[in-house]
Structure 1
Amino acid sequence: MKLIKLNAIDSTNDFLKGLSLTQELQNFTVVSAENQTKGRGQMGSVWNTEASKNLIMSVFLKDVVLNPNGIYQLNIATALAIVQVLKTFDIKNLSVKWPNDIMSANFKIGGILIENTFKTGGHISSIIGIGLNVNQTNFDDLPKASSMAVVADAVFNKEELLVLIVEQLKENLLEIHSNSQELWSNYLRILFKKGVPMPFKVKEKSFMGIITGVSAAGKLILLLEDDSFAEYGIKEVQMLY
């Protein structure tokens, strides 16, 4: 692992993407920042974080996934890596809210943004952005957000977390090729609200559904009230919880 530490940056994902265009990066090149001014979530949503309190990092990968159809496995491997590490710090009630929010009970404590570039010759390079609320305790304007510090009433070492997450991610990525079924099973086991009747909204229409799983393409699979199944892509459906 090569680690590049920055004080402040607009986006660690954008920084790492720019770096990859000017030089050949080795796998697991990591950029971390104390402050990120233009953090992003899925589909352009904003990720705000208090300076120096949280873990902000991006990881570069190339040709780990060899087929575009397997891209969502990066989400699975990353989300599992974060949950597996946080469990060792006794963070309670961990789950993954589709597609990529890390939850403790009903509160979001982290998020993942993966950006992929498809190049000629079938090469796929990926930048995995991870934002994890670690030592921040003030979430006055974010009623559904929390942090490791709030959940566990403790202060954590961000650099230790970074190293442990990257090491666990390495292990999980090996399973993409050797034991992907186990990877999927572990992911589905910790899927937020799986099997629980929940209200959802598509555009302005609300309805009840039950999460039964996630498709290979990364779409959320819902069992509807008429016993039919429906699949939804990112930002196509909102869970009301």
Structure 2
Amino acid sequence: MKIIDAVLGFFKPAVVEKEREVNVVRLDTVDSTNSFLRTYTPADDEPMTVVVADYQTAGRGQGTNTWESEAGKNLLFSVLVHPTMLPVRSQFLLSEAGALALKEALTDYVKDDIRLKWPNDIYWKDKKLSGTLIETKLAGGRIKDCIFGVGLNVNQEAFHSDAPNPVSLCQILGHEVDKKELLEKIVKKFSELYNLLEMGGYNDISAMYHEALYRRGGFHKFRDADGEFDGAIVEVEDDGHLILRDKSGRIRKYQFKEVEFII
């Protein structure tokens, strides 16, 4: 185990643990774990880096959204990988693999009703358990780096922001969960799914993702720029587009933020 000597000013000293070819950087406080990894330089033999913080002063969600998290209660972490083997056109498979890793790890605690809400939120019934912010860096027509930033509600007992439907594992189970053990399960699952991507198992990842989708069967309420409608999920394309079919039979295709699930 190695103690990092340098302190960059916005976070407290960190501990780095090396195991299973994954470097784990543990921080007390940071602006955001994604921001930390954007300036982090991994060693040449470091294929995967995980940075986890007890508290984020500027935790971010998608777009301009923020992430509410009580200090020390939840899992706030980011994973850095270098998926140069994956074609740029198929980069949404990384999002699918990350969401599946969370879903599979959480199934050890909650046996039913854990689903993946497109593109990569984790839902329990109609409540949001986790959100992910993914950032990629391209170089020479390849995916040089990919950072998965995850906020997972673990032991928080009450939420005070205007987020409409948060829930935590503690609220579901009625007791606290060991965060370190849960993180180890997530990283192990992600490593397995990432290995599957490295071996070209694209169809397997896509099939598992579609099977786990929130509202994957039947018609449900959605809203786009033209208003509300009833739609059924047809598929999620390799580039991440959501394909819906409305009750008139019309096929509708959406990028992220172009359509809203009405819950």
The alignment's TM-score, normalised by the length of structure 1, stands at 0.93
Residue identity in the other structure for 1:82: L
1:69-106: per-residue Cα shift (whole Å, max 9, x none)? 11101111111111111111235310011111101111
1:55 aligned residue: 75
1:107 aligned residue: 127
Structure 1: distance between partners of 2:74 and 2:111: 15
Asked if 2 retains the 8 angstrom alpha-carbon contact of 1:25 and 1:60, the reply is no
2:157 aligned residue: 137
1:114-153: per-residue Cα shift (whole Å, max 9, x none)? 1000013635211111110000010244440001111111
2:12 aligned residue: none
**After the TM superposition, which residues 143-222 of structure 1 pair with which residues of structure 2 at under 5 Å, given as runs?**
143-176=164-197, 177-203=199-225, 205-222=227-244
2:250 aligned residue: 228
- DSSP-derived class of the 2:239 partner: coil
2:113 aligned residue: 93
- DSSP-derived class of the 1:227 partner: coil
Structure 2: distance between partners of 1:91 and 1:134: 16
Residue identity in the other structure for 2:240: G
2:47 aligned residue: 27
1:38-87: per-residue Cα shift (whole Å, max 9, x none)? 11112232112111000000111113543111110111111111111111
Q: In 2 relative to 1, CA 237–45 (structure 1 residues): closer, same or farther, beyond 3 Å?
A: same
Asked if 2 retains the 8 angstrom alpha-carbon contact of 1:64 and 1:173, the reply is no
**Can you give the 5+ residue segments of structure 1 that lack an aligned partner in the other structure?**
none
**Can you give the 5+ residue segments of structure 2 that lack an aligned partner in the other structure?**
1-21
Overall identity of the aligned pairs, in %: 32
1:10 lines up with 2:20 in the alignment: no
- DSSP-derived class of the 1:92 partner: coil
Asked if 1 retains the 8 angstrom alpha-carbon contact of 2:84 and 2:142, the reply is no
2:56 aligned residue: 36
Cα distance, 1:204 vs structure 2? 5.3
**After the TM superposition, which residues 55-74 of structure 1 pair with which residues of structure 2 at under 5 Å, given as runs?**
55-74=75-94
Q: Which has the higher contact order (CA 8 A, sep 6+)?
A: 1
Cα distance, 1:23 vs structure 2? 6.7
1:75 lines up with 2:95 in the alignment: yes
Number of corresponding residues: 240
Asked if 2 retains the 8 angstrom alpha-carbon contact of 1:43 and 1:235, the reply is no
Q: Which has the larger radius of gyration?
A: 2
For the aligned residue pairs, the C-alpha RMSD in angstroms reads: 1.8
Cα distance, 1:161 vs structure 2? 1.2
1:164-201: per-residue Cα shift (whole Å, max 9, x none)? 11111010112223422121111111101112311211
Cα distance, 1:225 vs structure 2? 2.2
The alignment's TM-score, normalised by the length of structure 2, stands at 0.86
Structure 2: distance between partners of 1:194 and 1:75: 18
Structure 2: distance between partners of 1:158 and 1:103: 19
